[in-house]
C-alpha cells in the first residue's frame, strides 16, 4: 500500500511538472511572437499566429516532457511470486480481417510452440476470430487452420470462428468472443493479426494480473519487427530506440489510468465484460456509428469502473509489424484520425476520470496539431497582405526615417527553441543510450549515432508530407467523409514512382502553390519555407524512394543482431509452409474444424 501511495504521489508530481513546463513554453512562444509582431504594428494576423504558435509549442513541449520523464526514471518489475501456478485459463485472441492466413497462422504456430516451451502451454487457448468478408479468403483461412492443427500441438486448444457479420469491426469481434465464451477464461490476451509475443512474456503478463486483483488491463510496449524498406526500417529503429523512453514517461504520467493500444495487452475478462460495453454513437459516421479508436475508450471505461489500467514498459518479447511505406501509413493514420476526432463526443461523458478526459484531448490534438502548423504557415505567408503599412515618418517635419526595431535576435531565439523541442529529445535519448551502454544492442555507439541522425533527417524530410496527409484526414472527417476500416496491406510495400505520384500529386500541387505564394507575398520568408515546401514538391520521389530497401547496415536493432526465440520459430514455420506445394492443399479439407 505504501508503494502504491508513493507511486501516486510521483505520478501527480510528474503530471503537474510536465503540464507547467508545457504551458510555460507555449506562453513564452506566444509572448515572444507578439513582441516580434509589435515591431511593425500589432494586427489581427499577428494575434492569430501567436495563438497558433502557443498551441503548437505546448504540444511539442508535452512530447519533449514525456522523453524527459522517461530519461529520468526507471521501470521497476513488480515483486511477485513467479513460482506460483497459473490460476484459471487464458485465451489468446487473434482478430483477423482479410489477412494472408499463411503468414498470420505461422505467427500463431510460433506463439503456440513458445508457450509450450514454458511448460504452461496447456493453460492457454488460442482463438482465431475472423471478420473476413471475402469467401475466397475465408476458405483459405479454414484450409490453413487445418494445416495449423496438423502441424502443431494445438488440437483442442486452437479454435477458429468466422462471424456472419462484422458489426463493430475489431472491437465488436472481441466483444462477441467475450459475450459468448469469455466466462470460460480468467484472462484474455488481445493481439493483432501481425502481433508476435514470446510465450514467457505471456506467462509473465498472466502472473502480474494474478498478483494484482485490481488490475483490469496490462499493456506491453510492442517493438516493430520485420521491416525491409527505408521507411519501415527507420520506424523500426525509432520504435526500438526512442519509444521505450517515451513509453517510460507515459507510464509514469498515466499511472493507474494507463493506455490501451488495442493489442499486445492482457485483460481481466470479468472486468472487461462488466465495464467495456461500447455504445454506438448517435448519427452517421464519421462522428457517429461504431467507435473506431475503441482502445482509448475501453481503457477509460475500465478506469471509470475502478479497475487499474497499467503500461508495464519493462516487459520484453512483445512485437508487431508496421507499414512499409508512407502511403500505407497514411491510410492507417486516416482511421486513427477519425477515431480520435470521434472522442470529442466522449470528453464530457459522465463518470470518466479527469486524466482519461485529458487522454482524449491529447488524441484529438495529435491530429489537430498538423492543421495548426499549416494554418500558422499560411498566416505567416499572408501576414504582409493584412498587416498595417510601416510609417517611416510618423512626426511631421522630422527629417530622418523611423524604422521598426530589429527583432532578428528574438526571432532566431524562437526558431531555435521550437527546433530544440523537435530534435533535442531524440538527441538526449541517443546520448543516454551511449552513456548507459544501451547503444551496444544497436550495433555500438557509432552505428546508433548514425541511425539517430539519419532518422532525424528522414523524419524532418517526411514531416511536411505527413502534415498534409493528416490535415486532409481532419478535413475529410469534418466534412463528413467516413474512412471506414480498410484491410491492411502487408506486402513488401514497394511503390513505383507512378504509384507514389498518384497518391501524392495533390501534395506536389500544394508545395508549388506554397512556394509561389511565399515568393509573391513574403519573399523574405522564402528561404525559411524551402524546408517545408521542397519535400512537398518532391513527395512522389520521397515516397517511392523510402518504400524500397536501403543500406543493410543502417537502422540496426537488437532483433537484427539476434532474432528473438519466437521470431526464429515463426521463420522456421513459415519457411516450411511456403516450401510446400499448394497443389497438396485440398487434402487438408478432410480435417475437422474446431469452433469457439
> Contact 482/518 with Cβ under 8 angstroms?
no
Strand order, beta sheet including 187-190:
158-162, 124-130, 90-96, 187-190, 265-268, 215-219, 308-311
C-alpha cell at 222: 510492442
pLDDT at 2: 45
d(CA 536, CA 185): 51
Q: What's phi and psi for 225, nearest 5 deg?
A: -135, 165
pLDDT at 235: 97
d(CA 219, CA 237): 21
- CA-wise closest residue to 593 among 174, 161, 166: 161
Q: Which residue in this structure is represented by grid cell 530589429? A: 406
- The shares of helix, strand and coil residues in the chain, as percent rounded to the nearest 5, are 60, 10, 30
> Contact 220/205 with Cβ under 8 angstroms?
yes
d(CA 495, CA 492): 9
d(CA 473, CA 330): 9
> Contact 51/30 with Cβ under 8 angstroms?
yes
Alpha helices by DSSP H, 152-198: 169-181
CB atoms within 10 A of CB 474: 22
d(CA 40, CA 411): 14
Quote the crossing angle between the two packed helices 230-241 and 326-342, to the nearest 10°. 50
- CA-wise closest residue to 7 among 65, 75, 62: 75
Distance of CA 429 to the CA centre of its chain: 19
- Show Cβ contacts of residue 516 under 8 Å, excluding neighbours closer than 6 positions: none
Alpha helices by DSSP H, 219-350: 230-241, 243-254, 269-275, 294-304, 326-342
pLDDT in tens, 82-124: 988 998 999 999 999 999 999 999 999 999 999 999 999 999 9
CB atoms within 10 A of CB 261: 17
Q: Positive or negative CA dihedral for 63, 65, 66, 67? A: positive
Coil vs helix vs strand at 578? helix
Alpha helices by DSSP H, 119-196: 135-151, 169-181
d(CA 86, CA 203): 8
Helix (H) or strand (E) holding 445: helix 445-478
> Contact 166/250 with Cβ under 8 angstroms?
no
pLDDT in tens, 185-206: 999 999 999 999 999 999 999 9
In whole angstroms, how far apart are CA 62 and each of 25, 246, 366, 432? 9, 11, 11, 20
pTM over 0.85: yes
Cα–Cα–Cα angle for 307, 112, 226, rounded to 5 degrees: 90
pLDDT at 320: 97
DSSP annotation of 400 reads: S
d(CA 170, CA 175): 8
Q: What's phi and psi for 43, nearest 5 deg?
A: -140, 180
C-alpha cell at 99: 489477412
> Contact 291/175 with Cβ under 8 angstroms?
no
Q: Positive or negative CA dihedral for 513, 515, 519, 522? A: positive
C-alpha cell at 214: 485490481
d(CA 146, CA 589): 7
Q: Positive or negative CA dihedral for 114, 119, 120, 122? A: positive
Name all domains of the chain by residue range, CATH numbers in brackets. 90-228+246-322 (3.90.550.10)
Ramachandran assignment for 496, one of left (phi > 0), alpha (psi -120 to 50 degrees), beta (any other): beta
> Contact 266/217 with Cβ under 8 angstroms?
yes
For the chain, residues with pLDDT lower than 50 are 1-2, 390-393, 400-404, 406, 581, 588-596
Amino acid at each position: 500500500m505504501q508503494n502504491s501511495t508513493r507511486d501516486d504521489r510521483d505520478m501527480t508530481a510528474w503530471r503537474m511538472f510536465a503540464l507547467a513546463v508545457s504551458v510555460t513554453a507555449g506562453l513564452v512562444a506566444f509572448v515572444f511572437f507578439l513582441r516580434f509582431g509589435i515591431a511593425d504594428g500589432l494586427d489581427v494576423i499577428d494575434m492569430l499566429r501567436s495563438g497558433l504558435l502557443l498551441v503548437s509549442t505546448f504540444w511539442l513541449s508535452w512530447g519533449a516532457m514525456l522523453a524527459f520523464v522517461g530519461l529520468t526514471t526507471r521501470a521497476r518489475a513488480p515483486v511477485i511470486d513467479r513460482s506460483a501456478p497459473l490460476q484459471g485459463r487464458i485465451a489468446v485472441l487473434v482478430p483477423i480481417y482479410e489477412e494472408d492466413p499463411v503468414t498470420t497462422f505461422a505467427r500463431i504456430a510460433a506463439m503456440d510452440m513458445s508457450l509450450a516451451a514454458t511448460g504452461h502451454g496447456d493453460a492457454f487457448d488460442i482463438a482465431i476470430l475472423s471478420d473476413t468478408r471475402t469467401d475466397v479468403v475465408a476458405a483459405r483461412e479454414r484450409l490453413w487452420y487445418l494445416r495449423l492443427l496438423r502441424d502443431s500441438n494445438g488440437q483442442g486448444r486452437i479454435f477458429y470462428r468466422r462471424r456472419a457479420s462484422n458489426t463493430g469491426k475489431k472491437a465488436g469481434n472481441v466483444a462477441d468472443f467475450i459475450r459468448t465464451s469469455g466466462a470460460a477464461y480468467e484472462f484474455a490476451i488481445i493481439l493483432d493479426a501481425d502481433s508476435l509475443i514470446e510465450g514467457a512474456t505471456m506467462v509473465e503478463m498472466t502472473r502480474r494480473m494474478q498478483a494484482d486483483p485490481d488490475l483490469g488491463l496490462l499493456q506491453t510496449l510492442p517493438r516493430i519487427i520485420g521491416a525491409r524498406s527505408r521507411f519501415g526500417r527507420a520506424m523500426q529503429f525509432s520504435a526500438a530506440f526512442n519509444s521505450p523512453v517515451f513509453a517510460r514517461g507515459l507510464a509514469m504520467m498515466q499511472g493507474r489510468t494507463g493506455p490501451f493500444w488495442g493489442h499486445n495487452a492482457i485483460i481481466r475478462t470479468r472486468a472487461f465484460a462488466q465495464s467495456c460495453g461500447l455504445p454506438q454513437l448517435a448519427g452517421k459516421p464519421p462522428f457517429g456509428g461504431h467507435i473506431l479508436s475503441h482502445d482509448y475508450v475501453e481503457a477509460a471505461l475500465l478506469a471509470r469502473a475502478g479497475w487499474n489500467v497499467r503500461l508495464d514498459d519493462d516487459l520484453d518479447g512483445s512485437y508487431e509489424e508496421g507499414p512499409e511505406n508512407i502511403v500505407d501509413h497514411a491510410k492507417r493514420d486516416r482511421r486513427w484520425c477519425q477515431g480520435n476526432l470521434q472522442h470529442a463526443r466522449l470528453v464530457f461523458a459522465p463518470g470518466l476520470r479527469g486524466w482519461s478526459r485529458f487522454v482524449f484531448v491529447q488524441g484529438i490534438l495529435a491530429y489537430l496539431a498538423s492543421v495548426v502548423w499549416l494554418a500558422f504557415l499560411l498566416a505567416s505567408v499572408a501576414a504582409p497582405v493584412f498587416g498595417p503599412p510601416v510609417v517611416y515618418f510618423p512626426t511631421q517635419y522630422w527629417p530622418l526615417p523611423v524604422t521598426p526595431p530589429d527583432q532578428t535576435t528574438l526571432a532566431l531565439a524562437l526558431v531555435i527553441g521550437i527546433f530544440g523541442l523537435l530534435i533535442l529529445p531524440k538527441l538526449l535519448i541517443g546520448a543516454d543510450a551511449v552513456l548507459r551502454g544501451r547503444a551496444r544492442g544497436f550495433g555500438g555507439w557509432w552505428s546508433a549515432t548514425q541511425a539517430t541522425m539519419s532518422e532525424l533527417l528522414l523524419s524532418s524530410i517526411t514531416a511536411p508530407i505527413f502534415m498534409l496527409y493528416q490535415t486532409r484526414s481532419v478535413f475529410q472527417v469534418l466534412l463528413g467523409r467516413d474512412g471506414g476500416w480498410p484491410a491492411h496491406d502487408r506486402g513488401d510495400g514497394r511503390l513505383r514512382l507512378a504509384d507514389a505520384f498518384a497518391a501524392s500529386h495533390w501534395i506536389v500541387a500544394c508545395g508549388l502553390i506554397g512556394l509561389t505564394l511565399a515568393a509573391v507575398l513574403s519573399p523574405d520568408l522564402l528561404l525559411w519555407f524551402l524546408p517545408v515546401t521542397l519535400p512537398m514538391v518532391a513527395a512522389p520521389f520521397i515516397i517511392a524512394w523510402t518504400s524500397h530497401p536501403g543500406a543493410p547496415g543502417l537502422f540496426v536493432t537488437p532483433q537484427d543482431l539476434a532474432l528473438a526465440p519466437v521470431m526464429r520459430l515463426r521463420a522456421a514455420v513459415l519457411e516450411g509452409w511456403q516450401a510446400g506445394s499448394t497443389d497438396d492443399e485440398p487434402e487438408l479439407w478432410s480435417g475437422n474444424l474446431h469452433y469457439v
